[in-house]
Every structure is written in C-alpha cells, then in structure tokens.
DNA sequence: GACGAATTGGACAAGAGTGTCTAATTTTGT
DNA sequence: ACAAAATTAGACACTCTTGTCCAATTCGTC
C-alpha cells in the first residue's frame, strides 16, 4: 500500500507490516496452543506489538483466527499451483523427473511452514469452523488433485504411463511420496532433506512399478531385475 | 446409569464403571476442544458424574489427560496387533485376501473411534507431552510397521510378492489403502464403508501392480490388460 | 437395618484471559 | 514544523475455569 515512500531499505514498515507480523505470530501461536489456548498477549508480544494494536487491526480473537487461516490457505494454494506448473510434461528421464517433482511438492507445499501450520489448524479447529473449512476444501485438495490428475492423464496419453483412473493415480502418487513422512508429521516436526528424498524416491519407484510402461529403459531393467519376469 | 440393578449382569458398576465413563467422556471432550479448551464440568456432565468425582478419580486435569492417552494407546495397539494377526499368510486369492485385510485394518484400527481420537490427540497435544508421545511412538507405529513388514517378507519369501525392502513396502501399503481417505481424516469425519472399500481396493490393486509376481492368475491377466505387456 | 465409603451439588477463592477505555507517546504525511 | 493518525502501556470490569472444601445424600456391604 504505502510502498517506497522512504529513501531506502524498509519502506513499508508501519501499518501493513505490523498487520503481517501479527498474522504471522498468530499463526504460530494458534498452531502451538490451539484456538482456546492461544493468548492474545502472547501473540502481541511475539509480533512485537502492543495488545491494543492486535485489537485495532483484527477486532477479535475469532476474526484474527479467520484472517490467519485465509492467509495460510491463500499462500499454500499459490505454492501448490506454482509447483504443479513444474510437472514434467515432456520427461527426459521419467523416474528422475518425477522424483524431482515429488521433492518440490513435499518441500514447497507439504513440509514448509505454511503447509504444516495450515494442516494443523484444519485438523485441530476445522470442525469448529465449517464454512472456513469448506472454503479450503474446495480451493485446496480438490483442485490440487484434479490438476495433478490432468497432468498424469496427459503423461499417460503420451505413452509414458499406463493409468486407468488418473484421479486415483494422482491421490496414490501423493500418498506414496509421503508414505515415509507420516511419523514426522504426527510429531509436528520438519523432516530433513534426507528423509524427504528417501520418501520421494521410494514412492516414485513404486508408483512407476505400478503405472510405468515397460518401454522406459532404465525402469524396465530395474523392474525385470526386481520381479524376475 | 441405573442399569443392571437386578441380581446379576453387572457386578462392578460403581467405582470402576464411573472411572471408565469419565475417561471415555474426557477423550471425547479433549478431542473436540483440545486440552486448553476442554472443560472439566463438561466432561463430568458428559460422563454423567459430578465434577468432584472426576477430581476424586484422577486428581488433576493433566493427570486425566495422561490417563486418556494411555487408555487410547493401549486399546489401539491391542486392536492393531489383533488385526495384524489376521494377515493372509497363505492367501488363496491374494488380491481379495489383501483387500479384506486392508478393510479390517482401516475399520478396526484407523477409522474407529479410538484410532481417530488417539490420532487427533497426538496431533494436537503431542508436542506438549514429549514423554507420552515417545511412549506411543515406540509401541505404536514402530511395532506396527515392523510386524507388517515381517508378514510381507514372509509372503515374498513364499513367492507371492516381489519385494526388495519389506519395511518400505509395509509403509507404502498403509499409505496406499488410506490414500482416498485423507480428506475425511482432515475433516475429522468417519468415512463410510463404501469409501473405505473403494480406497482399500484401489490401494491393494496398485500395491499388487507394483509388487505382485506375474504368476498370480487373475492378477497377471488384469495387469497385462492394463499395461499392455 | 446399620455402618462406612463413595457420590453429589453447591459455594468458594484464586487466577487467567478477553475486550474496552484512556491518556501519553510516537510515527506519518504535508 | 505541524496536525492527524496510529501505537503504546496500563488500568479496568467481566467472564470463565480450576481446584478445594463441606454438608447432605446415596450406595455397597455386612
């Protein structure tokens, strides 16, 4: 809004910057403590702002919570679609390209701060805010899955995969590349790059064993060695 | 509450029955409201007991919470191992048997009341109680995965599957049979039998496409039709 | 029927948190 | 530099919740 007024460095600091700071701190506190356990004083302190400013900007604990969820939803969806845009439509090495895509998906959408926060908030408070939840549901997983399914369908049409139901394949792809990260998620922790790579690699290999065409050279070799056929 | 006043049927009602009732109600309320939001009065009312009785039995909100988690952990683990004991070691029809097993796993361990409650409590309050969490982690997923991996390894050794790493296969099996239930879990809702069957069927089919040996008659037929090899 | 233990409902103090208000101070725009 | 707007710190009323205490009642057992 008030961008670039001052000479240099940090032009927009006061009004909008504080708002952002508050929403960010609120996300963190709501996640750690839950809605009921979250303390406005703590949020204000963590944002480096007085309590009154929190009320001036958002009016209400509940309104603040809604603002947090909307903010996270928006950024997460943006990240997801930016990542889906990097899907390997014309793969050189299908396995390597899909592993790279899986890594980006995990890193940028599922394991990052926004993704973990949003997931936790939906899990903990989703039942209390059905409208907010419905909104996320439409914009989030629904579109993600169909967008991803479309990409897989294209890949199958081009002869790189043998897929009967692209929607099922898309969901299973996501499930597989996250299969080994479930415990880390339960802990609320952030899996390290090693784990993410391992999970993505194992997931993509199994996915290709199930849906790959024998054509793919390296894959066919690995598969025949594995299955012994 | 005044059940079984008659001569027999329910000898131990008062003391222990109330304890169980309180723990059950507390599980429900802790799940809905979170630890901070849970109200002892509400728990007491939901258990059909006075607030004082809650304090008499468990002494403290925190102690009550620990009791709830221990109770859920115990019952969930028992259910999981009882279900793993039904794993098809000598399958007649591998696909059908695995789908049946997947259904039992989903229904009795993951989608039932205890499973959903425990998962949610760990997600929401796990970070606040690291010891409790570590205990569950050792007893729960760790043992589950290795027990399941052992079963898959045996199946592979008997020639029914082609598995390189049984641990990975076990985790991916669980991920696949739940792939289509993720949204329901996010909602905290209970997926109906139709959804569970669909998810289990799709998951097992993909699992067998990836790890099945061509030998299996019906499977080989389906696979060759699918992959065109 | 009687005794002891458990349960109940209610009152209670203590503490914590929300949301409001105000006066003083700082920041921003002109 | 000046005026308007935003921010701050603190006090405040109000509500809610926890955990304790107690007298009356009920329940299980002998």
Q: What is the pLDDT of residues B34-69, one digit of tens each?
A: 999 999 999 999 999 999 999 999 999 999 999 999
Which one, of A190, A39, A189, A185, lies nearest residue A123 by Cα? Answer: A185
Which one, of B222, B219, B208, lies nearest residue B98 by Cα? Answer: B208
Which one, of B69, B136, B73, B81, lies nearest residue B105 by Cα? Answer: B81
Cβ contacts from A onto B, under 8 A: 129
Distance A51 CA to C17 C1' (A): 12
Distance (Å) of CA B116 to CA A61, A153, B209: 28, 34, 30
- Please say if the pLDDT value at position B163 is more than 70: yes
Q: Where are the domains of chain A?
A: 1-59, 69-227
User: Is there a contact between A188 and B32 if contact means CB atoms under 8 Å apart?
Assistant: no
Residue A45 pLDDT: 96
Mean pLDDT of A12-33: 88
pLDDT band with cut points at 50, 70 and 90 for residue B145: very high
Closest residue (CA) to C1' of nucleotide C8 is B50
- What 8-state DSSP symbol labels residue B107? I
Chain B partners within 8 Å of A183 (Cβ): 137, 141
Residue B13 pLDDT: 53
Round to whole Å and give the CA distance between B141 and A134: 31
- Please say if the pLDDT value at position B32 is more than 50: yes
Region B69-227: CATH code = 1.10.357.10
**How many other C-beta atoms can be found within 10 angstroms of the C-beta atom of residue B21?**
17
Q: Report chain B's mean pLDDT, rounded to a whole number.
A: 87
Classify B1-59 by CATH class: mainly alpha
Chain A partners within 8 Å of B174 (Cβ): 179
- What 8-state DSSP symbol labels residue B11? S
**Going by C-beta distance under 8 Å and a sequence separation of 6 or more, which residues neighbour residue A144?**
A80, A84
Residue B184 pLDDT: 86
User: Is there a contact between A162 and B228 if contact means CB atoms under 8 Å apart?
Assistant: yes
Closest chain B residue to the Cα of A202, Cα to Cα: B168
Closest chain A residue to the Cα of B35, Cα to Cα: A37
């Amino acid at each position: 809004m008030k961008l670039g007024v001052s000479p240099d460095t940090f032009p927009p600091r006061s009004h909008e910057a504080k708002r952002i700071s508050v929403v960010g701190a609120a996300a963190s506190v709501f996640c750690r403590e839950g809605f009921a356990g979250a303390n406005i004083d703590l949020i204000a302190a963590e944002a480096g702002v007085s309590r009154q400013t929190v009320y001036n900007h958002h009016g209400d604990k509940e309104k603040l919570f809604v603002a947090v969820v909307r903010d996270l939803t928006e950024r997460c969806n943006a990240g997801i679609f930016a990542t889906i845009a990097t899907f390997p439509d014309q793969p050189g090495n299908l396995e390597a390209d899909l592993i790279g895509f899986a890594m980006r998906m995990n890193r940028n959408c599922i394991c990052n701060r926004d993704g973990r926060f949003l997931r936790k908030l939906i899990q903990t408070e989703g039942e209390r805010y059905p409208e907010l939840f419905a909104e996320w549901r439409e914009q989030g997983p629904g579109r993600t899955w169909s967008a991803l399914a479309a990409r897989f369908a294209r890949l199958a049409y081009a002869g790189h995969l043998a897929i009967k139901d692209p929607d099922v394949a898309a969901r299973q792809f996501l499930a597989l590349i996250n299969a080994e990260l479930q415990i880390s998620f339960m802990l609320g922790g952030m899996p390290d790059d090693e784990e993410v790579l391992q999970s993505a690699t194992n997931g993509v290999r199994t996915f290709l064993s199930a849906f790959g065409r024998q054509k793919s050279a390296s894959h066919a070799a690995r598969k025949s060695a594995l299955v012994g056929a």
